[in-house]
A and B are shown apart, each in its own frame.
Chain A
Amino acid sequence: MGEVELSCRAYVKMYLHCCLFPRCSINGLLLSSSTAGDAVCVTDCVPLLHSHLSLAPITQLALTQVDVWCSQTQQRIVGYYQANACVSDSSPTPCALKIADKISEQFENAVLLMLDGSKMSADYRVPPIVMYERKDSRWTLKDKHTIMLRQWEETRAIAGQMLDSGDHSLLVDFDSHLDDITKDWTNQKLNNKIAELASPANGSM
């Protein structure tokens, strides 16, 4: 199976999603805007829920809405991420496997990403993620060497900086959107902030 690349924007938003709801299990979808060859390039993510992950209605609704948005913005759903409330257990739950299965029905090289809460302390050096891919109808651990995070140090710095300045409170997941539909679950504001931090050299004129 091919390589998977995780963009700065996708990683930072997942990280901030975890930080916004540290006491809940959270999940979301991984998106890609490129269709290049074998490698899967995760360019963005949409945070979904922070409560009742295993109940069907809102999950189905969110999948449908994100699907439509993707088709209008030349993106596709290429994976699923989840972080468990219980920090000591980062293994995929039945609900994670089910949703990942559904995604892989539409995208063969779908990935399942679990965030490892125990590795998210301020001094962590390694990306706190565990990735699974689908082999022979089962989700198996992906070889770490096929997972790429370009400019990891910079990404890590941006994530830390945004957490320190309280930017995680700007993140909107689908659950929050349903509580207040004026909130934007595509997180354009946050995307812009991340982009600003990522390229100060190219920044404002």
Chain B
Amino acid sequence: MIENREMRDKLRKWREENCRNSEQIVDVGEELISEHASKLGDDIWIIYEQVMIAALDCSRDDLALTCLQELEKQFSDSHRVKRLSGMRLEALERYDEANKDYDAILQDDPTNTAARKRKISILKAQGKSAEAIRELNEYLEQFVGDQEAWHELSELYINEHDYGKAAFCLEELMMTNPHNHLYCEQYAEVKYTQGGLENLELSRKYFAQALRLNNRNMRALFGLYMSASHIAASPKVSAKVKKDNMKYAAWAATQINRAYKYTDTLKRHIVHLGGHAEAAMKQYPLPVFDSGWLVAGPRRTNAP
């Protein structure tokens, strides 16, 4: 009895957090369904749905089909189940048939966002990025508050190296989620990648903002160090800007060293290196932030 409850709670938690730990879901879900189906009450349908999607993700078509058939028996005309049927076809790479399913749903209900998103996912799976981007943009004109879609679009743009448009998507996300440190940090990374003094200064500001929201975000901390160092090293900045950025960089460097000291990772590495311990300790303050890879051109010409 206890086991049953535990498993159900786990599945619920994963549903609520939208985790994609499909292997675990299949493990727990399959057992729950086969051993305890009668005790699940109405919960069973949502569990079938969850397990089915996870099963597709793990290429467990047998399990997916079982779940789908149970759902189809119970909810014969449901759009929600039809979408699941479409997803199964997608997993089997039968994209044309899947699209037919989704088009049928949309004809019945043009506002069905799930079907539209599946169609866009198919374009992505087929490598048709430009079309996926176009469709997603159209979708967002209608459903401007869909966070998941904005984030998906930013990812698509990043893959296409269209950083300006990726930044725009992240700006939308930051506006509606001002406390989310991850969006700030991603935005900063995009700006940094775009390069140029203005973008670097923006990236530094947003790395700093991400840190304000979450002072343990290591990417933001490193990002702050790197962007500030770059700015300080630029010949185009005033002496004051140079000085300020060197201060920011130094601050970030101290925080980084502190973080590593407390984790003991450093010591482990040095111990592994054997006799070089002392020298490495002295050197470590910031050898990694030597300009070598940050600035174009080789740093060393001699082999180790």
Contact present for A72 and B222 (CB under 8 Å): no
Contact present for A64 and B294 (CB under 8 Å): yes
Closest to B203 in A: A57
Contact present for A106 and B226 (CB under 8 Å): no
Contact present for A88 and B127 (CB under 8 Å): yes
A91 to B300 Cα, complex, angstroms: 30
A93 smallest CB distance to B (angstroms): 8
Q: What are the residues of chain B within 8 A of A76 when measuring CB–CB?
A: 303-304
Given A35-B303, A61-B222, A178-B219: A73 and B273 interface contact (C-beta under 8 Å): yes
Q: Interface readout for B254-282 with A: 1 if CB under 8 Å, 0 if not?
A: 00000110011100110011001000100
A197 smallest CB distance to B (angstroms): 21
Q: Which of B57, B159, B161, B288 is in CB contact (< 8 Å) with A65?
A: B288
Given A55-B158, A57-B192, A181-B259: A106 and B222 interface contact (C-beta under 8 Å): no
Contact present for A67 and B280 (CB under 8 Å): no
Number of A-B pairs whose CB atoms are under 8 Å? Answer: 92
Residue A43 is within 8 A (CB to CB) of chain B in the complex: no
Q: Which of B189, B259, B273, B292 is in CB contact (< 8 Å) with A55?
A: B189
A168 smallest CB distance to B (angstroms): 11
Closest to B221 in A: A178
Q: Which of B20, B272, B293 is in CB contact (< 8 Å) with A67?
A: B293
**Residue picked from A55, A65, A88, most chain B C-beta under 10 Å:** A55
Q: Which of A54, A56, A74, A181 is in CB contact (< 8 Å) with B218?
A: A181
Contact present for B193 and A64 (CB under 8 Å): no
Interface size on A, residues (CB 8 A): 38
Q: What are the residues of chain A within 8 A of B127 when measuring CB–CB?
A: 86, 88-89
Residue B223 is within 8 A (CB to CB) of chain A in the complex: yes
Residue B290 is within 8 A (CB to CB) of chain A in the complex: yes
B160 smallest CB distance to A (angstroms): 9
Contact present for A75 and B298 (CB under 8 Å): no
Residue B168 is within 8 A (CB to CB) of chain A in the complex: no
Q: What are the residues of chain B within 8 A of A54 when measuring CB–CB?
A: 158-159, 161, 193
Residue A135 is within 8 A (CB to CB) of chain B in the complex: no
Q: Which residues of B contact A (CB under 8 A)?
A: 20, 57, 125, 127, 158-159, 161, 186, 188-190, 192-193, 195, 203, 218-219, 222-223, 226-227, 259-260, 263-265, 268-269, 272-273, 276, 280, 287-290, 292-294, 297-300, 303-304
Residue A193 is within 8 A (CB to CB) of chain B in the complex: no
Given A64-B293, A65-B288, A182-B265: A188 and B218 interface contact (C-beta under 8 Å): no
Closest A-B pairs by Cβ, 4 of them: A56-B193, A63-B293, A55-B189, A64-B293
A86 to B125 Cα, complex, angstroms: 7
Given A23-B20, A35-B303: A57 and B292 interface contact (C-beta under 8 Å): no
Closest to A75 in B: B304
Q: Which of A57, A88, A181 is in CB contact (< 8 Å) with B265?
A: A181
Q: What are the residues of chain B within 8 A of A179 when measuring CB–CB?
A: 218
Contact present for B189 and A52 (CB under 8 Å): yes
A44 to B193 Cα, complex, angstroms: 29
Q: What are the residues of chain A within 8 A of B20 when measuring CB–CB?
A: 23
A57 smallest CB distance to B (angstroms): 5
Contact present for A182 and B263 (CB under 8 Å): yes
Q: What are the residues of chain B within 8 A of A74 when measuring CB–CB?
A: 304
Given A55-B158, A63-B293, A181-B259: A69 and B269 interface contact (C-beta under 8 Å): yes
**Residue picked from B20, B227, B259, B263, most chain A C-beta under 10 Å:** B263
Q: What are the residues of chain A within 8 A of B269 when measuring CB–CB?
A: 69, 184, 186
Residue A165 is within 8 A (CB to CB) of chain B in the complex: no
Q: What are the residues of chain A within 8 A of B192 when measuring CB–CB?
A: 55-57
B27 smallest CB distance to A (angstroms): 12
Q: What are the residues of chain B within 8 A of A65 when measuring CB–CB?
A: 288
20 extra interface residue pairs, beta carbon distance < 8 Å, beyond A60-B226, A181-B259, A186-B269: A23-B57, A55-B189, A55-B190, A56-B193, A57-B189, A57-B203, A57-B219, A58-B219, A60-B294, A64-B288, A64-B292, A65-B288, A72-B276, A73-B273, A75-B304, A179-B218, A181-B218, A181-B260, A181-B263, A184-B269
Q: What are the residues of chain B within 8 A of A106 when measuring CB–CB?
A: 298-300
A155 smallest CB distance to B (angstroms): 24
Residue A70 is within 8 A (CB to CB) of chain B in the complex: yes
A72 to B280 Cα, complex, angstroms: 8
Q: What are the residues of chain A within 8 A of B293 when measuring CB–CB?
A: 60, 63-64, 67, 102
- A–B Cβ pairs within 8 angstroms, 17 of them: A35-B304, A52-B189, A56-B193, A57-B193, A58-B189, A58-B222, A60-B226, A60-B294, A61-B226, A61-B288, A67-B293, A70-B304, A105-B298, A178-B218, A181-B263, A184-B269, A186-B269
